[in-house]
Amino acid sequence: MTLQHAQTLTKAAVLELAGIEKIYRTDSLETVALANINISIQQGEFVSIMGPSGSGKSTLLNVLGLLDAPSKGVMRLHGMDVTKLKENAIAQVRNQEIGFIFQSFHLVNDLRVLDNVEIPLLYRKGLSGSERKQLALEAVQQVGLSSRTKHFPSQLSGGQQQRVAIARAIVGKPKLLLADEPTGNLDSAMGDEIMNILHTLNREHGTTIAMVTHDERLAAQTDRTIRIFDGQQVA
Amino acid sequence: MLRNYLLLAWKVLLRRKFFTFISLVGISLTLATMLVVTAIIDYHANPPRPYTKQARMLFVKSVMGKSKDFTTINEPHYGFHDKYVRPLPGVEKFSIQTESTFITYPNGQKTTLTAKIVDGVFWEIFDFEFLEGAPFTEDDNQQRRMVAVVSEKTRQRYFGDASALGKSITLGSKTYRIVGVARDVASSLSVSGDVWYPVSIDLTPKDRTGVLDEGAGGFTSVILANNASDLPSIQAAFQAMLPTVKFASSNIEYMQAAAETNFGVQAQMFFGFDSEDKDYGKRDNATRLIALLMALTLGFMALPAINLVNVNVSRILERASEIGVRKAFGASSTALVGQFIVENLVLTIIGGAIGVLLAEAVLLWITSAGIFPNAVFHVNARVAVYALGMSAVFGLLSGVLPAWKMARLPIVQSLKGGINA
Ligand SMILES: Nc1ncnc2c1ncn2[C@@H]1O[C@H](COP(=O)(O)OP(=O)(O)O)[C@@H](O)[C@H]1O
Ligand SMILES: [Mg+2]
């Protein structure tokens, strides 16, 4: 297939997965975490991923985010086959294109809010310290935490921590945001706050979002729901 | 990038005060111990005045004589130094010495004095600091004038705070007129003494003609070369000279010896004298001693290094999720290894700096307690550079392995909390 052809084929698709399979092998055990997944996510879409516990949602999101390599299948990001890239190139793609939000926030406890938010920019070339700081301040402002930049994560509520994590995910202005149960550790009021931020990002900045959730109510607010059962795509 | 790493390291170390404290204690104590030992060795390897010209000096001390029936290791006679060593090509100045001890009773106090019995050139090779008067000359030596130089301490014992110039000192049956007072040097340096007088006064005909094993012997010599770079050729000429030595009145057939640097002499003394040693005089003792000291240093550092590796492994494991996050947001493994190494280097170098301060304090104490009489120890620039190098090696050793291990961990696994999670 020529590059030209590949590009016309995947015109508006941010992500395209074809025949993706993920098998975890240990000495005695073989777990098929994902089998024959075919997904296409369009530019500007807000997609939710649902399924029972252990069905492979996180595995799928990790594959989508290039955090984990599939055992089989092809994946294209903006039309580019990313399954063949080397480790450092993948790291750069993640840095430029993707932002992550985790269920348990994964903030660096030793660093203040602003330093946490700056992390993705550290691995981007050509940014000065003051530029990084400026961008981090903007991101923190977007999640409404401008008054907490000097706090350590342990000094914040769960909802605030997740907002810091969102600021970190968007500071590099990625086109794709991946969130693994972002409200899973939060009460519903805090969860709604987070959802509001995600919706705003999606609507006002055109950020494409894929979000794993257990909550039908939250899934209903998204454009489309992908359902996974036992590693298989059921809808 | 390095600036970011340094900044980050600083933030993390400040944030983890307990870990930082424990690590710094371990690192600084280890380094301080090493520095104290290093400073003392360094002092003897690169001694202060009167060894200013040490880089151009070679010493001829104990030699080995071989006969059919026996082996002797001894300082040779005056004649050996005078007839065989003095004429070697490249020798700019040459001095022969021997020593003796005298029991004297200044002011009724029984005192043992070490007399260094030297020629006039001795004072040209070694630049003693004179508090009063001046050294005796080679002419004084040739003319067998009854003159002496005393040390600061000897002056104190005999004359209190008064001047010693022109006064006399009696050693055994002979009385000498004091012409100079030299500042004390550390008694652990071989050039030190309580009193010096001309070697010609005591020389017997046997001393002058003897080589080895004809009577007492007991003479050593010092060669001063024009240039430090001349030393190897002088040493080679010395070796070439040995087979030409004629042994007048004994059944000694050949000798083994070396003209060694000051450090080489001390290395030989450290390794000891073994009459079974077939390579006596032919071995590079200085290099051997340095190798041994390095091995000991490494051995001594291994334990705290392993300990620090352990602490680092658990510290880095604790930060598995941080590593996962950084990688998720685009950090390469190399960037992470870099970050952890810089963190560890910052830690060990701060530890090294504290170690230098601790060592300096201990050395001040050793100096003032007089454990090495008259020696003044410091962490000098050379020792400090060594310390910095050692702490860097320490930092790399203890940082690279855990960092590398951790940076290789798959992201998903790191995010779950590490290797065992
Ligand atoms: N590193 C791993 N090694 C082996 N099996 C794994 C690993 N990670 C996940 N799995 C298995 O893969 C399946 C899907 O896991 P996951 O994607 O985490 O599910 P979900 O996020 O939907 O709860 C589960 O059966 C899980 O036990
Ligand atoms: Mg999950």
Three-class SS state of A158: helix
Spatial CA neighbour of B211 closest among B392, B109, B78, B328:
B78
Asked whether residue B421 carries a pLDDT value surpassing 50, the answer given is: no
Ramachandran angles phi, psi of A43, nearest 5°: -55, 130
In this structure, what CATH number is given to the domain that contains residue A54? 3.40.50.300
Per-residue pLDDT, B250: 67
Is pLDDT above 50 for A2? no
| pLDDT, averaged across chain B | 89
> How many angstroms is it from A59 CA to the middle of ligand 1?
6
Distance from Cα A39 to the centre of ligand 1, integer Å? 19
**How far is it, in rounded angstroms, from Cα A169 to Cα A173?**
8
Q: What is the mean pLDDT of residues B135-158?
A: 97
8 Å CB contact of A62 and B412: yes
B280/B55 Cα distance (integer angstroms): 23
> How would residue B418 be classed by pLDDT, with cut points 50, 70 and 90?
low
The 3-state DSSP class for residue A182 equals coil
Does residue A142 register a pLDDT over 70? yes
Considering only CA atoms, which of B402, B401, B420, B406 is closest in space to residue B323? Answer: B406
Q: Which residue has the higher pLDDT, B16 or B197?
A: B197
Residue A1 scores a pLDDT above 60: no
User: Looking at ligand 1, which residue's alpha carbon is closest to its atom 17?
Assistant: A56
Full-model pTM: 0.69
| Phi, psi at B345, each rounded to 5° | -65, -45
Say what the ipTM of the complex is: 0.91
Report the distance separating Cα B105 and Cα B354, nearest Å: 48
pLDDT at residue B79, rounded to an integer: 93
Backbone angles phi, psi at B106, to 5 degrees: -70, 130
What is the pLDDT, as a whole number, of residue A114? Answer: 97
Is any ligand 1 atom within 6 A of the Cβ of residue A55? yes
- Average pLDDT value for residue range A42-64: 96
B225-266 residue pLDDT tens: 999 999 999 999 999 999 999 887 667 888 899 999 988 888
Burial zone of B389 (CB within 10 Å; 0-12 exposed, 13-18 middle, 19+ buried):
exposed
- Residue B59 makes CB contacts below 8 A (sequence gap 6+) with B220, B221, B222, B223, B259, B260, B261, B262, B264, B265
Cα of A20 vs its chain's centroid, Å: 18
Band (B215; pLDDT cuts 50, 70, 90) = low
A230 CB burial (10 A radius; 0-12, 13-18, 19+): middle
> For residues B315 and A54, which has the higher predicted lDDT (pLDDT)?
A54
B325 to A94: CB separation less than 8 angstroms, yes or no: no
How far apart are the CA of A51 and the centre of ligand 1, in A? 13
Q: State pLDDT tens for residues A116-131.
A: 999 999 999 889 999 9
Instruction: Please identify which residue in the block is written with the tokens 């010495």.
Output: B97
Minimum mean pLDDT range among A78-82, B250-254, B381-385: B250-254
Q: Does B342 touch chain A (CB under 8 A)?
A: no
Least confident of A80-89, A209-218, B1-10, B61-70: B1-10
Pocket test for ligand 1, best of A22, A29, A37, A58 (most atoms within 8 A of CB): A58
> Do A110 and B15 lie within an 8 Å CB cutoff?
yes
B238/B230 Cα distance (integer angstroms): 12
Range of the domain at A110: 3-233
For chain A, what percent of residues have pLDDT higher than 70? 95
Q: What is the DSSP letter of A191?
A: H
Q: Cβ(A31) to ligand 1 under 6 A?
A: yes
* Cβ-defined contact of B329 to A94 (cutoff 8 Å): yes
> Distance (Å, rounded) from C-alpha A79 to C-alpha A9?
8
Return d(Cα B344, Cα B334) in angstroms, integer.
Answer: 15
| Interface contact flag, B329 A124, Cβ < 8 Å | no
Q: Which one, of B411, B388, B392, lies nearest residue B400 by Cα?
A: B392
Read off φ and ψ for residue A177, nearest 5 degrees: -115, 125
Question: In degrees, to the nearest 5, what angle opens at C-alpha B117 toward C-alphas B112 and B118?
Answer: 145
Domain total in chain A: 1
Contact B242, B36 (CB under 8 A): no
State the Cα–Cα distance between residues B116 and B100, nearest whole angstrom. Answer: 7
Question: B101 - beta bridge partners?
Answer: B114
Is pLDDT above 70 for B116? yes
Three-class HEC string of chain B: CHHHHHHHHHHHHHHCHHHHHHHHHHHHHHHHHHHHHHHHHHHHHCCCCCCCCHHHEEEECCEEEECCCCEEEECCCHHHHHHHHCCCCCEEEEEEEEEEEEEECHHHCCEEEEEEEECCCHHHHCCCCEEEECCCCHHHHHCCCCEEEEEHHHHHHHHCCCCCCCCEEEECCEEEEEEEEECCCCCCCCCCCCEEEEHHHHCCHHHHHCCCCCCCCCCEEEEEECCHHHHHHHHHHHHHHHHHCCCCCCCCCEEECCCECHHHHHHHHHHCCCCCCCCCCCCCHHHHHHHHHHHHHHHHHHHHHHHHHHHHHHHHHHCHHHHHHHHHCCCCHHHHHHHHHHHHHHHHHHHHHHHHHHHHHHHHHHHHHCCCCCCCCCCCHHHHHHHHHHHHHHHHHHHHHHHHHHHCCCHHHHHCCCCCC
Buried b (16+ CB within 10 A) or exposed e, B46-81: ebeebbebbebbbbbbbbbbbeeeeebbbbbbbbbb
Shortest-distance atom of ligand 1 to CA A57: 22
Q: Which residues of A touch B (CB under 8 A)?
A: 62, 65, 67-68, 87-88, 91-92, 94-96, 99-100, 102, 106-111, 115, 119-120, 122-124, 129, 152, 168, 172
pLDDT at A7 over 70: no
Residue A3 in this model has a pLDDT that exceeds 80:
no
Average pLDDT over residues B319-347: 89
CB atoms under 10 Å from CB of B200, counted, come to 18
Reading the block at residue A192, the tokens are: 């709604």
First to last CA, chain A: 29
Q: Is A53 in the pocket of ligand 1 (CB under 6 A)?
A: yes
Q: What is the pLDDT of residues B80-110, one digit of tens each?
A: 999 999 999 999 999 999 999 999 999 999 9
The per-residue pLDDT for B38 is 87
Q: Which two tokens stand for residue B116?
A: 């260094």
> How far does residue A170's CA lie from ligand 2's centre (Å)?
22
Q: Which residues are CB-neighbours of A117 under 8 A, at least 6 positions away?
A: A136, A139, A140, A164, A167, A168, A171
Ligand 1 atom at minimal distance to the Cα of residue A56: 17
* Cα-only R_g, chain A: 18
